Protein backbone atom coordinates (compact mmCIF):
# COMPACT_ATOMS: atom_id res chain seq x y z
CA UNK A 1 0.00 0.00 0.00
CA UNK A 2 1.23 3.47 -0.88
CA UNK A 3 1.67 6.40 1.48
CA UNK A 4 -1.27 8.85 1.51
CA UNK A 5 1.08 11.73 0.78
CA UNK A 6 3.61 10.30 -1.64
CA UNK A 7 4.48 7.23 -3.67
CA UNK A 8 6.62 5.48 -1.11
CA UNK A 9 5.30 2.33 0.58
CA UNK A 10 3.26 3.00 3.71
CA UNK A 11 4.75 1.56 6.89
CA UNK A 12 2.43 3.15 9.44
CA UNK A 13 -1.26 2.33 9.41
CA UNK A 14 -3.44 4.14 11.92
CA UNK A 15 -7.10 4.71 12.50
CA UNK A 16 -7.79 8.17 13.87
CA UNK A 17 -11.11 9.47 15.05
CA UNK A 18 -11.48 13.19 14.59
CA UNK A 19 -14.79 14.90 15.44
CA UNK A 20 -16.56 11.55 15.46
CA UNK A 21 -15.34 10.72 11.95
CA UNK A 22 -13.18 7.66 11.53
CA UNK A 23 -10.26 8.10 9.20
CA UNK A 24 -7.56 5.70 8.10
CA UNK A 25 -3.98 6.90 7.78
CA UNK A 26 -1.34 5.14 5.72
CA UNK A 27 2.04 6.82 5.77
CA UNK A 28 5.62 6.23 4.78
CA UNK A 29 8.38 6.53 7.38
CA UNK A 30 9.13 10.15 6.48
CA UNK A 31 5.56 11.36 6.50
CA UNK A 32 4.77 9.42 9.67
CA UNK A 33 7.64 11.26 11.31
CA UNK A 34 6.33 14.60 10.03
CA UNK A 35 2.94 13.79 11.51
CA UNK A 36 4.61 12.92 14.80
CA UNK A 37 3.49 9.29 14.70
CA UNK A 38 5.87 6.77 16.24
CA UNK A 39 7.00 3.94 14.01
CA UNK A 40 5.94 0.47 15.08
CA UNK A 41 9.42 -0.98 14.76
CA UNK A 42 11.27 2.02 16.03
CA UNK A 43 13.94 1.51 18.62
CA UNK A 44 13.55 3.04 22.05
CA UNK A 45 16.51 5.34 21.59
CA UNK A 46 15.18 6.72 18.36
CA UNK A 47 11.99 7.47 20.22
CA UNK A 48 13.94 9.06 23.01
CA UNK A 49 15.67 11.20 20.45
CA UNK A 50 12.41 12.21 18.79
CA UNK A 51 10.86 12.99 22.16
CA UNK A 52 13.83 15.01 23.25
CA UNK A 53 13.94 16.81 19.99
CA UNK A 54 10.24 17.69 19.92
CA UNK A 55 9.91 18.56 23.60
CA UNK A 56 12.57 21.21 23.16
CA UNK A 57 10.73 22.72 20.25
CA UNK A 58 8.11 24.33 22.48
CA UNK A 59 10.64 26.28 24.47
CA UNK A 60 12.20 29.52 23.44
CA UNK A 61 15.76 28.41 23.00
CA UNK A 62 18.83 30.39 21.92
CA UNK A 63 20.11 27.19 20.30
CA UNK A 64 17.29 27.77 17.81
CA UNK A 65 19.48 30.33 16.04
CA UNK A 66 22.70 28.29 16.10
CA UNK A 67 24.07 26.70 12.99
CA UNK A 68 27.25 24.75 12.31
CA UNK A 69 30.05 26.71 10.63
CA UNK A 70 31.46 23.47 9.22
CA UNK A 71 28.44 22.34 7.21
CA UNK A 72 25.84 25.05 7.67
CA UNK A 73 23.36 22.77 9.42
CA UNK A 74 20.95 24.86 11.50
CA UNK A 75 20.21 23.39 14.93
CA UNK A 76 16.51 23.65 14.04
CA UNK A 77 17.11 21.13 11.27
CA UNK A 78 18.86 18.71 13.61
CA UNK A 79 15.93 18.95 16.00
CA UNK A 80 13.59 17.91 13.21
CA UNK A 81 15.56 14.98 11.85
CA UNK A 82 17.97 13.89 14.59
CA UNK A 83 20.88 13.70 12.14
CA UNK A 84 24.01 15.84 12.35
CA UNK A 85 25.73 17.33 9.30
CA UNK A 86 29.47 16.99 9.90
CA UNK A 87 32.13 16.29 12.56
CA UNK A 88 32.14 19.97 13.56
CA UNK A 89 28.48 19.77 14.60
CA UNK A 90 29.63 17.85 17.68
CA UNK A 91 31.59 20.92 18.80
CA UNK A 92 29.16 23.64 17.77
CA UNK A 93 26.12 21.94 19.36
CA UNK A 94 28.02 20.40 22.28
CA UNK A 95 25.78 21.93 24.96
CA UNK A 96 22.65 20.68 23.29
CA UNK A 97 24.09 17.24 22.53
CA UNK A 98 25.57 16.50 25.97
CA UNK A 99 22.28 15.83 27.81
CA UNK A 100 20.83 13.96 24.84
CA UNK A 101 23.80 11.64 24.40
CA UNK A 102 24.24 11.02 28.08
CA UNK A 103 20.57 10.11 28.45
CA UNK A 104 20.74 7.71 25.53
CA UNK A 105 23.98 6.20 26.84
CA UNK A 106 22.96 5.43 30.41
CA UNK A 107 24.77 8.48 31.77
CA UNK A 108 28.04 7.97 29.92
CA UNK A 109 29.57 11.02 28.24
CA UNK A 110 33.14 9.98 27.41
CA UNK A 111 34.49 7.51 24.90
CA UNK A 112 36.63 4.77 26.47
CA UNK A 113 36.87 2.41 23.51
CA UNK A 114 39.50 2.04 20.83
CA UNK A 115 41.04 5.06 19.10
CA UNK A 116 42.32 5.51 15.54
CA UNK A 117 45.95 4.52 15.16
CA UNK A 118 46.81 7.98 13.83
CA UNK A 119 44.63 9.95 16.24
CA UNK A 120 47.33 12.34 17.45
CA UNK A 121 48.76 13.44 14.13
CA UNK A 122 45.43 13.62 12.40
CA UNK A 123 44.07 16.67 14.22
CA UNK A 124 46.56 19.04 12.53
CA UNK A 125 45.98 17.45 9.17
CA UNK A 126 42.24 17.85 9.54
CA UNK A 127 42.73 21.56 10.16
CA UNK A 128 44.94 21.96 7.11
CA UNK A 129 42.48 20.06 4.98
CA UNK A 130 39.59 22.26 6.11
CA UNK A 131 41.61 25.42 5.38
CA UNK A 132 42.54 24.13 1.94
CA UNK A 133 38.92 23.21 1.27
CA UNK A 134 37.83 26.75 2.21
CA UNK A 135 40.49 28.24 -0.06
CA UNK A 136 39.37 25.97 -2.84
CA UNK A 137 35.79 27.15 -2.46
CA UNK A 138 36.76 30.79 -2.69
CA UNK A 139 39.08 30.11 -5.64
CA UNK A 140 36.22 28.48 -7.49
CA UNK A 141 33.88 31.32 -6.54
CA UNK A 142 36.43 33.84 -7.87
CA UNK A 143 36.81 31.74 -11.05
CA UNK A 144 40.54 31.27 -10.41
CA UNK A 145 40.55 27.85 -12.00
CA UNK A 146 44.31 27.30 -12.14
CA UNK A 147 44.61 28.02 -8.45
CA UNK A 148 41.60 25.79 -7.79
CA UNK A 149 43.17 22.89 -9.68
CA UNK A 150 46.36 23.31 -7.68
CA UNK A 151 44.45 23.29 -4.40
CA UNK A 152 42.44 20.27 -5.45
CA UNK A 153 45.64 18.33 -6.14
CA UNK A 154 47.00 19.25 -2.75
CA UNK A 155 43.76 18.22 -1.09
CA UNK A 156 43.61 14.89 -2.88
CA UNK A 157 47.17 14.19 -1.90
CA UNK A 158 46.47 14.99 1.74
CA UNK A 159 43.31 12.92 1.88
CA UNK A 160 44.99 9.91 0.32
CA UNK A 161 48.47 10.07 1.77
CA UNK A 162 47.65 11.70 5.06
CA UNK A 163 50.17 9.83 7.22
CA UNK A 164 53.11 11.12 5.13
CA UNK A 165 52.62 14.56 6.54
CA UNK A 166 54.17 13.47 9.82
CA UNK A 167 57.62 12.72 8.52
CA UNK B 1 42.59 -8.32 19.06
CA UNK B 2 43.61 -11.93 18.43
CA UNK B 3 42.00 -13.78 15.57
CA UNK B 4 40.08 -16.76 16.66
CA UNK B 5 40.35 -19.68 14.32
CA UNK B 6 36.82 -20.90 14.02
CA UNK B 7 37.50 -22.72 10.81
CA UNK B 8 35.14 -22.54 7.89
CA UNK B 9 31.84 -20.77 7.77
CA UNK B 10 29.41 -22.69 9.96
CA UNK B 11 25.78 -22.98 9.07
CA UNK B 12 24.91 -24.08 12.57
CA UNK B 13 26.53 -21.98 15.25
CA UNK B 14 26.57 -22.09 19.05
CA UNK B 15 23.11 -22.01 20.66
CA UNK B 16 21.52 -22.12 17.25
CA UNK B 17 18.40 -23.80 18.66
CA UNK B 18 17.50 -20.30 19.89
CA UNK B 19 19.92 -17.84 18.30
CA UNK B 20 19.59 -17.83 14.54
CA UNK B 21 22.39 -15.40 13.79
CA UNK B 22 24.69 -12.78 15.26
CA UNK B 23 25.49 -9.51 13.58
CA UNK B 24 28.10 -6.83 14.25
CA UNK B 25 27.64 -3.46 12.61
CA UNK B 26 30.21 -0.68 12.64
CA UNK B 27 29.73 2.93 11.57
CA UNK B 28 32.61 5.14 10.45
CA UNK B 29 32.85 8.52 8.77
CA UNK B 30 35.74 10.21 7.01
CA UNK B 31 37.16 13.24 8.76
CA UNK B 32 37.40 15.44 5.68
CA UNK B 33 33.82 15.34 4.46
CA UNK B 34 30.42 16.37 5.79
CA UNK B 35 28.19 13.44 6.76
CA UNK B 36 26.25 11.91 3.90
CA UNK B 37 23.09 13.97 4.40
CA UNK B 38 25.01 17.26 4.02
CA UNK B 39 27.47 16.08 1.38
CA UNK B 40 27.21 17.27 -2.21
CA UNK B 41 26.84 14.77 -5.03
CA UNK B 42 30.49 15.41 -5.92
CA UNK B 43 31.60 14.70 -2.37
CA UNK B 44 29.54 11.51 -2.30
CA UNK B 45 31.28 10.39 -5.50
CA UNK B 46 34.64 11.20 -3.96
CA UNK B 47 33.79 9.18 -0.85
CA UNK B 48 32.83 6.22 -3.00
CA UNK B 49 36.03 6.33 -5.04
CA UNK B 50 38.30 6.90 -2.01
CA UNK B 51 36.69 3.91 -0.29
CA UNK B 52 37.06 1.74 -3.35
CA UNK B 53 40.73 2.61 -3.61
CA UNK B 54 41.28 2.08 0.13
CA UNK B 55 39.56 -1.29 -0.01
CA UNK B 56 41.67 -2.41 -2.95
CA UNK B 57 44.78 -1.70 -0.86
CA UNK B 58 43.33 -3.54 2.13
CA UNK B 59 44.80 -6.81 3.32
CA UNK B 60 41.89 -9.24 3.17
CA UNK B 61 44.00 -12.36 3.66
CA UNK B 62 42.17 -13.30 6.82
CA UNK B 63 38.87 -13.05 5.04
CA UNK B 64 37.38 -16.47 4.28
CA UNK B 65 36.94 -15.48 0.64
CA UNK B 66 39.93 -13.12 0.33
CA UNK B 67 38.00 -10.60 -1.69
CA UNK B 68 34.97 -8.39 -1.82
CA UNK B 69 32.75 -7.69 -4.79
CA UNK B 70 32.17 -4.02 -5.50
CA UNK B 71 28.77 -2.76 -6.65
CA UNK B 72 28.10 0.87 -7.61
CA UNK B 73 24.47 1.18 -6.64
CA UNK B 74 23.73 4.14 -8.91
CA UNK B 75 24.68 1.90 -11.82
CA UNK B 76 22.97 -1.24 -10.55
CA UNK B 77 19.60 -2.28 -11.94
CA UNK B 78 16.48 -2.23 -9.76
CA UNK B 79 16.58 -6.01 -9.73
CA UNK B 80 20.17 -6.13 -8.47
CA UNK B 81 19.36 -3.62 -5.74
CA UNK B 82 16.28 -5.58 -4.72
CA UNK B 83 18.38 -8.73 -4.49
CA UNK B 84 20.91 -7.02 -2.22
CA UNK B 85 18.10 -5.80 0.05
CA UNK B 86 16.48 -9.23 0.21
CA UNK B 87 19.75 -10.78 1.23
CA UNK B 88 20.20 -8.12 3.93
CA UNK B 89 23.45 -6.95 2.36
CA UNK B 90 22.17 -3.40 2.07
CA UNK B 91 19.35 -1.60 3.84
CA UNK B 92 16.16 -0.58 2.06
CA UNK B 93 17.14 3.03 2.69
CA UNK B 94 20.48 2.40 1.01
CA UNK B 95 18.78 0.95 -2.04
CA UNK B 96 16.27 3.77 -2.44
CA UNK B 97 18.03 7.10 -2.10
CA UNK B 98 19.54 8.57 -5.18
CA UNK B 99 22.97 9.89 -4.15
CA UNK B 100 26.18 8.19 -5.23
CA UNK B 101 26.36 4.96 -3.26
CA UNK B 102 28.12 1.64 -3.30
CA UNK B 103 28.44 -1.63 -1.47
CA UNK B 104 31.24 -4.18 -1.23
CA UNK B 105 30.14 -7.71 -0.48
CA UNK B 106 32.15 -10.75 0.56
CA UNK B 107 31.64 -13.63 -1.84
CA UNK B 108 29.99 -15.78 0.83
CA UNK B 109 27.69 -12.82 1.64
CA UNK B 110 28.62 -12.87 5.32
CA UNK B 111 30.15 -9.40 5.24
CA UNK B 112 29.21 -6.15 3.54
CA UNK B 113 30.50 -2.61 3.48
CA UNK B 114 27.88 0.01 2.63
CA UNK B 115 29.24 3.32 1.36
CA UNK B 116 27.17 6.49 1.86
CA UNK B 117 24.32 5.02 3.83
CA UNK B 118 23.50 7.14 6.91
CA UNK B 119 27.25 7.16 7.60
CA UNK B 120 30.05 7.15 5.04
CA UNK B 121 30.94 3.58 5.96
CA UNK B 122 28.74 0.89 7.46
CA UNK B 123 30.43 -2.47 7.87
CA UNK B 124 28.48 -5.51 8.91
CA UNK B 125 29.30 -9.16 9.47
CA UNK B 126 26.77 -11.91 9.96
CA UNK B 127 27.50 -15.28 11.58
CA UNK B 128 25.36 -18.28 12.44
CA UNK B 129 24.32 -18.85 16.04
CA UNK B 130 25.61 -16.88 19.00
CA UNK B 131 29.20 -15.89 18.27
CA UNK B 132 30.66 -12.43 18.07
CA UNK B 133 34.44 -12.77 18.39
CA UNK B 134 34.98 -13.94 14.85
CA UNK B 135 32.56 -11.41 13.37
CA UNK B 136 34.14 -8.62 15.37
CA UNK B 137 37.70 -9.53 14.40
CA UNK B 138 36.73 -9.65 10.72
CA UNK B 139 35.15 -6.21 10.98
CA UNK B 140 38.16 -4.86 12.85
CA UNK B 141 40.54 -6.14 10.24
CA UNK B 142 38.73 -4.34 7.45
CA UNK B 143 38.30 -1.21 9.54
CA UNK B 144 42.01 -1.11 10.36
CA UNK B 145 42.88 -1.92 6.76
CA UNK B 146 40.84 1.00 5.44
CA UNK B 147 42.35 3.24 8.08
CA UNK B 148 45.81 2.99 6.55
CA UNK B 149 44.39 5.04 3.66
CA UNK B 150 41.34 6.82 5.08
CA UNK B 151 41.10 9.05 8.08
CA UNK B 152 38.13 8.57 10.37
CA UNK B 153 36.21 11.38 12.05
CA UNK B 154 37.08 11.01 15.71
CA UNK B 155 36.97 13.17 18.80
CA UNK B 156 38.85 12.23 21.97
CA UNK B 157 35.74 12.91 24.01
CA UNK B 158 32.98 11.41 21.88
CA UNK B 159 34.95 8.73 20.07
CA UNK B 160 34.04 7.87 16.47
CA UNK B 161 31.68 10.53 15.18
CA UNK B 162 28.47 9.38 13.53
CA UNK B 163 25.67 11.19 11.74
CA UNK B 164 23.17 10.11 14.38
CA UNK B 165 24.50 11.08 17.81
CA UNK B 166 23.06 7.92 19.39
CA UNK B 167 25.72 5.83 17.58
CA UNK B 168 28.66 7.93 18.75
CA UNK B 169 31.55 6.32 20.65
CA UNK B 170 32.43 2.85 19.41
CA UNK B 171 30.01 3.20 16.50
CA UNK B 172 29.33 -0.50 16.99
CA UNK B 173 26.12 -2.40 17.50
CA UNK B 174 25.83 -6.06 18.33
CA UNK B 175 22.59 -7.77 17.51
CA UNK B 176 21.12 -11.25 17.44
CA UNK B 177 18.17 -12.72 15.62
CA UNK B 178 16.42 -14.99 18.14
CA UNK B 179 13.76 -17.62 17.57
CA UNK B 180 11.49 -17.32 20.61
CA UNK B 181 8.29 -19.32 20.06
CA UNK B 182 8.31 -20.56 23.68
CA UNK B 183 8.39 -17.07 25.15
CA UNK B 184 5.79 -15.92 22.62
CA UNK B 185 3.29 -18.69 23.40
CA UNK B 186 3.71 -18.40 27.17
CA UNK B 187 3.50 -14.60 26.81
CA UNK B 188 6.73 -14.28 28.76
CA UNK B 189 8.06 -12.24 25.86
CA UNK B 190 6.45 -9.13 27.34
CA UNK B 191 8.51 -9.57 30.48
CA UNK B 192 11.66 -9.97 28.41
CA UNK B 193 10.79 -6.80 26.52
CA UNK B 194 10.29 -4.86 29.74
CA UNK B 195 13.60 -5.96 31.23
CA UNK B 196 15.34 -5.34 27.93
CA UNK B 197 14.51 -1.67 28.30
CA UNK B 198 16.37 -1.48 31.61
CA UNK B 199 19.31 -3.27 30.04
CA UNK B 200 19.38 -0.73 27.19
CA UNK B 201 18.49 -3.21 24.53
CA UNK B 202 16.23 -2.72 21.56
CA UNK B 203 13.84 -5.58 20.87
CA UNK B 204 11.90 -5.65 17.69
CA UNK B 205 9.66 -8.20 16.12
CA UNK B 206 11.06 -9.30 12.83
CA UNK B 207 8.64 -9.15 9.94
CA UNK B 208 9.40 -11.47 7.11
CA UNK B 209 9.30 -10.07 3.59
CA UNK B 210 5.75 -9.13 2.75
CA UNK B 211 4.19 -10.68 5.83
CA UNK B 212 1.89 -8.56 7.96
CA UNK B 213 1.93 -10.40 11.25
CA UNK B 214 4.61 -10.67 13.88
CA UNK B 215 6.31 -14.01 13.88
CA UNK B 216 8.39 -15.58 16.60
CA UNK B 217 11.65 -14.06 15.35
CA UNK B 218 13.02 -11.15 17.34
CA UNK B 219 16.00 -8.93 16.71
CA UNK B 220 17.73 -7.81 19.89
CA UNK B 221 20.52 -5.24 19.84
CA UNK B 222 22.59 -3.27 22.32
CA UNK B 223 21.98 0.47 22.45
CA UNK B 224 25.06 1.51 24.41
CA UNK B 225 27.97 2.73 22.30
CA UNK B 226 29.67 5.12 24.73
CA UNK B 227 31.54 4.77 28.02
CA UNK B 228 32.55 1.13 27.61
CA UNK B 229 35.13 -0.55 25.43
CA UNK B 230 34.20 -2.72 22.47
CA UNK B 231 35.31 -5.85 24.35
CA UNK B 232 33.29 -4.97 27.44
CA UNK B 233 30.18 -4.31 25.40
CA UNK B 234 30.60 -7.53 23.46
CA UNK B 235 31.22 -9.63 26.58
CA UNK B 236 28.20 -8.16 28.37
CA UNK B 237 25.95 -8.86 25.42
CA UNK B 238 27.25 -12.28 24.46
CA UNK B 239 28.08 -13.77 27.85
CA UNK B 240 25.51 -12.22 30.17
CA UNK B 241 22.48 -10.78 28.44
CA UNK B 242 21.73 -13.10 25.55
CA UNK B 243 22.43 -16.39 27.43
CA UNK B 244 19.78 -15.35 29.97
CA UNK B 245 17.18 -14.96 27.24
CA UNK B 246 18.32 -18.27 25.71
CA UNK B 247 17.74 -19.92 29.10
CA UNK B 248 14.26 -18.40 29.47
CA UNK B 249 13.34 -19.63 26.03
CA UNK B 250 14.57 -23.17 26.70
CA UNK B 251 12.65 -23.25 29.99
CA UNK B 252 9.50 -22.08 28.25
CA UNK B 253 9.90 -24.79 25.61
CA UNK B 254 10.37 -27.47 28.30
CA UNK B 255 7.25 -26.29 30.05
CA UNK B 256 5.21 -26.32 26.87
CA UNK B 257 6.51 -29.75 25.97
CA UNK B 258 5.26 -31.16 29.28
CA UNK B 259 1.88 -29.51 28.89
CA UNK B 260 1.15 -30.25 25.29
CA UNK B 261 3.58 -32.14 23.08
CA UNK B 262 1.34 -31.59 20.03
CA UNK B 263 1.65 -27.83 20.23
CA UNK B 264 5.37 -28.14 19.87
CA UNK B 265 5.36 -30.22 16.76
CA UNK B 266 2.90 -27.87 15.12
CA UNK B 267 5.07 -24.83 15.76
CA UNK B 268 8.31 -26.62 14.97
CA UNK B 269 9.97 -26.11 18.31
CA UNK B 270 12.90 -28.28 19.13
CA UNK B 271 14.26 -28.85 22.61
ZN1 LIG C 1 5.05 9.73 2.25
ZN1 LIG D 1 28.29 20.54 10.90
Q: Give pLDDT, residue A18.
A: 52
Ligand in closest contact with the CA of A33? 1
Which of B156, B159, B166 minimises the CB distance to A104?
Answer: B166
Q: Give pLDDT, residue A36.
A: 65
Q: Give pLDDT, residue A58.
A: 47
B55 found inside a domain: yes
User: What pLDDT digit, counting tens, does each position of A79-92 carry?
Assistant: 999 999 999 999 99
Q: Give pLDDT, residue B3.
A: 25
Kindly determine whether residue A41 and residue B205, on different chains, have CB atoms separated by under 8 Å: yes
User: What pLDDT digit, counting tens, does each position of B2-55 carry?
Assistant: 223 333 344 678 898 999 999 999 999 999 999 999 999 999 999 999 999 999
Domain range for B234 is 3-264
What's the gap in Å between A33 CA and the centre of ligand 1? 10
Query: Which chain A positions have a beta carbon within 8 Å of B31's beta carbon?
Result: 87, 122, 126, 129
pLDDT at residue A50 tops 70 = no
User: What pLDDT digit, counting tens, does each position of B94-137 carry?
Assistant: 888 777 999 999 888 889 999 999 999 999 999 999 999 989 99
For all residues of chain A together, what is the average pLDDT? Answer: 75
pLDDT at residue B265 tops 60 = no
Q: Kindly list the protein residues that place their beta carbon closer than 5 angstroms to ligand 1, a single-atom ion.
A: A 3, 5-6, 8, 28, 31
Q: Find which of A16-20, B21-25, B84-88 is predicted with most confidence, using mean pLDDT.
A: B21-25
Summarize the confidence of residues A141-164 as an average pLDDT.
75
Q: Give pLDDT, residue A115.
A: 87
Residue B186 distance to chain A (closest CA, Å): 22
User: What pLDDT digit, counting tens, does each position of A99-143 carry?
Assistant: 999 999 988 888 988 888 865 555 556 666 777 787 888 888 888
Task: Between B62 and A6, name the one with better pLDDT.
Answer: A6
What's the gap in Å between A28 CA and the centre of ligand 1? 4
Query: Which chain A positions have a beta carbon within 8 Å of B48's beta carbon?
Result: none
Q: How confident is the model at residue A49 (pLDDT cuts 50, 70, 90)?
A: low
Q: Of B82, B139, B207, B226, which to mutate for an interface test with A (greatest number of A Cβ within 10 Å)?
A: B226
B194 at interface of A, judged by CB pairs closer than 8 A: no
β-bridge partners, B21: B128, B177
Q: Give pLDDT, residue A38.
A: 58
B271 found inside a domain: no
Q: What is the pTM of this model?
A: 0.72
What's the gap in Å between A1 CA and the centre of ligand 1? 11
Listing DSSP states for chain B in one string gives -PPP---SPPSS-TTTTTEEEEEEEEEE-BTTS--GGG--HHHHHHHHHHHHHHHHTS--TTSTTS-EEEEETTTS-HHHHHHHHHTTSS-HHHHH--SS-EEEEETTSSEEEEESSSSSEEEEEEEESS--HHHHHHHHHHHHHHHTTS-B-EETTTEE--SSGGGTBT-EEEEEEEE-HHHHHTTTHHHHHHHHHHTTEEEEEPPPTT--S--SEEEEEE---SSS-HHHHHHIIIIIIHHHHHHHHHHHHHHHHHH-HHHHHHHT---
Task: Between A46 and A149, name the one with better pLDDT.
Answer: A149
Query: Which chain B positions have a beta carbon within 8 Å of A100's beta carbon?
Result: 165
Which of B31, B200, B229 minimises the CB distance to A122?
Answer: B31
CATH assignment of the domain containing B136: 3.30.590.10
Which of B29, B202, B227 minimises the CB distance to A108?
Answer: B227
Number of domains present in the structure of chain B: 1
B269 found inside a domain: no
Q: How confident is the model at residue A162 (pLDDT cuts 50, 70, 90)?
A: low
Summarize the confidence of residues A66-78 as an average pLDDT.
94
For all residues of chain B together, what is the average pLDDT? Answer: 86
Which of A71, A107, A129 minimises the CB distance to B38?
Answer: A71
Q: Give pLDDT, residue A143.
A: 86
Amino acid sequence: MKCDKCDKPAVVHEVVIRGGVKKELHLCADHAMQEGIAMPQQQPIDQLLTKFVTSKSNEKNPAEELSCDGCGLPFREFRKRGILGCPDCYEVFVEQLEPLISRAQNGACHHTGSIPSQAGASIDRQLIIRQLADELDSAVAAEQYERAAELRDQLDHLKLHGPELED
Amino acid sequence: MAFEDLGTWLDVGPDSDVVVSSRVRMARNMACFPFVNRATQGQCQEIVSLTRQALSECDLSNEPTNEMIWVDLDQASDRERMLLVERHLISRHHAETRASKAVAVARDESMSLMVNEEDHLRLQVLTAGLQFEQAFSRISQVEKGLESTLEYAFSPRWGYLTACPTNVGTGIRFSVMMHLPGLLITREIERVKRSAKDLHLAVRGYYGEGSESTGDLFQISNQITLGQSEDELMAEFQQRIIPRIVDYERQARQMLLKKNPLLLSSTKISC
